[in-house]
Chain A
Amino acid sequence: MGGTAPVVDMQGISIAFPGVRALDGVDFRLFPGEVHALLGENGAGKSTLIKALTGVYAIDDGTITVLGARTSFGTPAEAQASGISTVYQEVNLCPNLSVEENILLGREPRRRGAIHWREVRRKAEEVLDQLQLGHIDPRSVLSSHSIAIQQLVAIARAMQIEARVLILDEPTSSLDADEVQQLFSVIRTLRDRGVAILFVSHFLEQVYEVSDRMTVLRNGRLVGEYLTAELPRMGLISKMIGKELDALAELEEAESRRQPDRTDQTLFLQAEGLGRKGSVQEVTFTVHDGEILGLAGLLGSGRTETARLLFGADRADQGQLTIRGTSRALRSPRSAIDRGIAFSSENRKEEGLIGDLSVRDNLILALQAGKGWWRRVPRATQDELADRYIKALDIRPSGKDTLIRDLSGGNQQKVLLARWLITDPRLLILDEPTRGIDIGAKTQIQKLISSLAADGMSVIFISAELEEVLRISDRIAVLKDRRMVADIPNDNITMEDVMTVIAGTNA
């Protein structure tokens, strides 16, 4: 790429949202004829950077230069007019229109005011041929094709606009292996024609397969820009995950966390080859009473999917689940809850909070659901439980009748934790219980988890922060590309050990 000027040059980009610095002085360059991967964990700022480039968000600071001219796009349409096209994870085309209509939507060639359909077809066929997608019938209805083909049509549409920059945001997350290859061959065709491609994916194998260069972000800051060939997987993972040094300093060393031997404890749950098509495969592990099992893996590796299978939120279609020695097929969350399993979702807002109800109602929801609607938890008991847990978990503000949506993220998380603790579960599955909450609340929650396990409750702990998983767990199950690849006892293993497993090529 020596000598060529970057087609996109972003310097010192900063964007702040209320309470959060989403991007902090990030530099990013994109050269013509390269596939550039943008990497980082959840909340690292990848989407924000893309949205800054495409004019969805206004930047607070920094400069964006496109094709040598300083620009600031006010709307995505302006960015598109300058040759920057974005294809999102969810195909945003019109499924009930034909392929050719989708490719030329809004730019149909006209003759005497009416759409010139023959010309529409010719142009659509032309662009499909260029992408070696001649086998797609331009007259067919878009929704009759697989997601993969729809995504390729979206790319064809972008090419028809003569995009100089093509942004692909998680394009492969719903594709199977063959479809990914098809997409990659199109990407390579475009790259060879000089298009600059920004590729966002959480599948590391794919990043290594298709990208020439990568930029890593973490917590809204630039970690660095690297040539793919020069950065080994291990190096990449540690750059993505990093260590929160200041966070570590504030944490007390959890005292006597690991009880030396848990094998004498009763077995609570055993998963053997548990899986679900399109979700996660080959989940095999055991959980004993009082044990904390950590699930490690990168974003999209299948951590949440595993939790949902164990909770009956999704039904497993492969493998076997044994609870307390009896084989069980969990058909719904209700059936899992009846077996003593609780699950706190990573998605607080959509899957946890009942925003318009009070803290009290949210706290007793799971308990009440277990009793059925007829047997209402008496008001006195509600008050007593609410007071006890608000005090024990230091929930603020401490008013029972505050609407839960008015609480901060950390306090909402505590309420959701309490919702399950009230039901006295045998196994508590926590998906990212500490994400997006301040360091104080984080420490409180981690301590709570340790003390619950010490009292005999089993915990499955999921976090994107490997550091945290290592600190809390007794054993660690490692997931990679939606498969479980290892189950390691946590004695004196280091982050590097786990990273090696995550990085291992096709275990």
Chain B
Amino acid sequence: MSALLRHRLTWPVLALVLLLLLNQLFRADFLSVRVQDGHLYGSLIDILRNGAPTILIALGMTLVIASRGIDLSVGAVAAIAGAVSCMYIYSSPEPASLQTAATGVAIAVVAGLALGAWNGFLVSVIGIQPIIATLVLMTAGRGLAQLVTDGQIISVSNDSYQAIGAGYFLGLPISILIAAAAFGITGLLTRRTALGTLIESVGINPVASRLSGLDARTITWTVYVFSGLCAAVAGLMISSNVTAADANNAGLYIEMDAILAVVIGGTSLAGGRYSLVGTLVGALIIQTLTTTVYTLGVPPEATLVFKALVVIIVCLLQSSRARTLLSRRRRPVTEPSRPKVAA
């Protein structure tokens, strides 16, 4: 039991379950999933679908944070990805064909990779602090996206493109499938190879890692490129879902949600050991919170405060210092039985 309590995923999972149950109290059909026109419907599916971009970005963010960095530019990269693909589709002679959609997606992915490489270059080669290096693109990136779209909201009408964010496959929303695939591939890629351990090693002690022969620079570079890729795919989902590119609002503040998801999932901002499952749970908590706000009918002006409160509680539960404080309070009660616990 005590081992279970100490496991770092216990509290986040508990928080998620409690949130879901809270929703169930207010809406009896909240946890039910039904089939309609061969598609799965229900609040749980909505949470997964709406959370897919955050999950994707949080995956990339997890690896960046594990390497002792941070990527603030993901929201801007998502906006750029949406902008370039929509702009391509919009201005192509055949704006509705599958091929056009595919090319647009490819361009967005390449843009994401390139922007990630830029961040990685600033951090690993030039040696700029990650928070500053990615802040550059966070602000400049929105401007780039606006330049691409000429400051307009670009609407496209392409069924193939729309499928990314709003389509279904085998009864499930495609965006959920994409996020699940990304999660699986990232897990395999980092844990079946040595990449995960090496990222952690660089994050825990970069000097010792270099002296052990690790190419810390390449590893750092890789995680930023990966983060750029994740952000680009998330940006495609977001713009596809509304069949438009909105340079100003697409992926706005998503970097904050992603960082929160990582932290709630138990990965330390100081770098080192990370947990992809934890990040997944963290991202779901954040998305569920948003849904809960609507279910409970929290007035819109109090929404952000409500979210913040829940996040603070989850973080406090995870902080070992806060837990020590809590248990110290209770110590007088448990004092007599302590020797037994120790033994």
Interface residues of A (CB under 8 A from B): 311, 313, 332-334, 337, 343, 345, 350-357, 361, 365-366, 368-377, 419
Chain B residue at minimum C-beta to C-beta distance from A342: B213
A-B contact pairs, 5 of them (CB 8 A): A352-B211, A356-B200, A356-B204, A366-B213, A369-B209
Distance (whole angstroms) from the CB of A386 to the closest CB of chain B: 14
A334-B215, A337-B213, A369-B214 given; A351·B194 CB < 8 A: no
Contact A354 B211 (CB under 8 A): no
Interface flag for B290 (CB, 8 Å)? no
Please, which residues of chain A bring their CB within 8 A of the CB of B197? 357, 361, 368
Report chain A residues within 8 Å CB of B201: 354, 357, 361, 365
Whether, in the assembled complex, B315 has its beta carbon less than 8 Å from a beta carbon of chain A, the answer is: no
Q: A373-B193, A373-B195, A377-B194 are in contact. Are A352 and B208 (CB under 8 A)?
A: yes
Contact A374 B193, beta carbon cutoff 8 Å: yes
When the two chains form their complex, are residues A366 and B193 in contact, meaning their CB atoms are under 8 A apart?
A: no
B192 close to A (CB within 8 Å) = yes
0 or 1 for each of B199-219: is its CB under 8 Å from A? (1 = yes): 011001101111111110001
Contact present for A355 and B193 (CB under 8 Å) = no
* Shortest beta-carbon distance from B234 to chain A in Å: 25
Instruction: Please state if A373 and B194 are interface contacts (CB–CB under 8 Å).
Output: yes
How far, in angstroms, from A313 to B213 measured CA to CA in the complex? 10
The answer, yes or no, to whether B251 is at the interface (CB within 8 Å) is: no
Q: A368-B194, A368-B198, A377-B194 are in contact. Are A354 and B205 (CB under 8 A)?
A: yes
Where chain B touches its partner, the secondary structure class is helix
A354 touches B209 (CB 8 A): yes
How far, in whole Å, are A371 and B215 apart by their CA atoms in the complex?
11
Residue from B192, B193, B213, B272 in contact with A370 in the complex, judged by beta carbons closer than 8 Å? B213
Output the residue of B201, B213, B272, B273 with the most chain A CB within 10 A.
Answer: B213
User: B151: shortest Cβ distance to chain A, in Å?
Assistant: 40
Chain B residues near A (Cβ < 8 Å): 192-195, 197-198, 200-201, 204-205, 207-215, 219, 272-273
Q: What chain A residues lie within 8 Å of B205 (beta carbons)?
A: 350, 353-355
Known: A350-B208, A353-B205. 16 other contacts (CB 8 A): A350-B205, A351-B211, A353-B208, A354-B205, A354-B209, A356-B273, A361-B197, A365-B201, A365-B212, A366-B212, A366-B213, A368-B194, A371-B194, A373-B195, A374-B195, A376-B194
Question: How far does the alpha carbon of A504 sit from the alpha carbon of B308 in the complex, in Å?
Answer: 69
Q: Are B213 and A369 in contact (CB under 8 A)?
A: yes
Verify B213–A354 contact, CB threshold 8 A.
no
Most B CB within 10 A of own CB, among A313, A332, A373, A374? A373
Residue from B195, B207, B210, B214 having most chain A Cβ neighbours under 10 A: B214
Minimal Cβ-Cβ distance residue in A for B203: A356
Q: Which 3 A-B pairs have the closest CB atoms?
A: A369-B213, A376-B194, A337-B213
Closest CB-CB distance, B211 to chain A, in whole Å?
A: 5
Decide if A356 touches B272 in the complex (CB within 8 Å).
yes
In the complex, A368 Cα to B212 Cα: how many Å?
9
Q: Are A350 and B207 in contact (CB under 8 A)?
A: yes
> A351 to chain B: which residues have CB within 8 Å?
207-208, 211
Q: How far is the CA of A343 from the CA of B211 in the complex (A)?
A: 8
Neighbouring B residues of A372 by C-beta, 8 Å: 194
What chain A residues lie within 8 Å of B219 (beta carbons)?
Answer: 373
With both chains docked as a complex, state the minimum distance between the C-beta of A314 and any C-beta of chain B, in angstroms.
11
Q: A37 CB to closest chain B CB, in angstroms?
A: 32
Nearest chain B CB to A82 CB, angstrom units: 36
Structural contact, A376 and B192, CB atoms closer than 8 A: yes
Q: Report the minimal beta-carbon distance from A145 to chain B, rounded to whole angstroms.
A: 25
Chain B residues with CB under 8 A of A370: 213
Query: Among the listed B193, B195, B208, which residue makes an inter-chain contact with A354, where contact means beta carbons less than 8 Å apart?
Result: B208
A26 to chain B, nearest CB (A): 34
Query: Which of A350, A375, A377, A419 lies in contact with B212, CB distance below 8 A?
Result: A419
B192 partner residues in chain A, CB cutoff 8 A: 376
Pairwise interchain contact A334-B213, C-beta atoms closer than 8 A: yes
Choose among B194, B207, B209, B212 the residue with the greatest number of A CB atoms under 10 Å from its CB. Answer: B212
Distance A90 CA – B259 CA, assembled complex (angstroms): 36
The residues of B that contact A366 with a CB separation of less than 8 Å are 212-213
Residues of B within 8 A of A376 (CB): 192-194
Closest to B217 in A: A332
Contacting residues, chain B, for A369 (C-beta < 8 A): 198, 209, 212-215
The answer to whether B208 and A333 touch across the interface, beta carbons within 8 angstroms, is no
Contacts of B212 in A (CB 8 A): 333, 365-366, 369, 419
Q: Which residues on the B side are within 8 Å of A361 (C-beta)?
A: 197, 201
Contacts of A311 in B (CB 8 A): 211
Asked if residues B210 and A333 are in contact (CB atoms below 8 Å), the reply is: yes
B273 adjacent to A365 (CB under 8 Å): no
- Closest Cβ–Cβ distance, residue A352 to chain B (whole Å): 5
Q: Which residues of A contact B193 (CB under 8 A)?
A: 373-376
**Cα of A419 to Cα of B200 in the assembled complex, Å:** 17
Q: Provide the residues of chain B in CB contact with A377, threshold 8 Å.
A: 194
Complex Cα distance, B206 from A353, in Å, reads 10
A370 to B195, CA, bound (A): 13
Question: Are A345 and B194 in contact, CB atoms less than 8 angstroms apart?
Answer: no
Known A352-B208, A371-B194; contact A357-B200, beta-carbon cutoff 8 A? yes
Chain A residues contacting B204 (CB-CB under 8 Å) are 354-357
Nearest CB on B from A417, distance (A)? 13
A343 surroundings in chain B (CB, below 8 A): 211
Of chain B, the residue at the smallest CB distance from A419 is B212
Min Cβ gap A275→B in Å is 21
A375 to B194 alpha-carbon distance, docked (Å): 7
Give the Cβ gap from A432 to chain B, nearest Cβ, in Å: 15
**Interface core residue of A337, A350, A372, A377 (most chain B CB under 10 Å):** A372
Shortest Cβ distance from A436 into chain B, in angstroms?
17
Q: With CB as the reference atom, state the residue of chain A lying closest to B273.
A: A356
Q: In the bound complex, what is the Cα–Cα distance between A350 and B201 (angstroms)? A: 13
Which residue of chain B has its CB nearest to the CB of A374? B193
User: Please, which residue of chain A has its CB at the minimum distance from the CB of B192?
Assistant: A376
Residue of A nearest to B222 (CB): A373
Shortest distance in angstroms between A180's beta carbon and chain B's nearest beta carbon? 30
Measured CB to CB, the nearest residue on chain A to B196 is: A373
- Shortest Cβ gap from B319 to chain A (Å): 17
Give the Cβ gap from A385 to chain B, nearest Cβ, in Å. Answer: 14
- CA–CA, A355 to B273, complex, Å? 11
| B198 vs chain A, min Cβ distance (A) | 5
A314 to B208, CA, bound (A): 14
Which residue of chain A has its CB nearest to the CB of B191?
A376
A41 to chain B, nearest CB (A): 24
Q: Report Cα–Cα, A337/B214, bound state, in Å.
A: 10
| Nearest CB of chain A from residue B34's CB, rounded to whole Å | 43
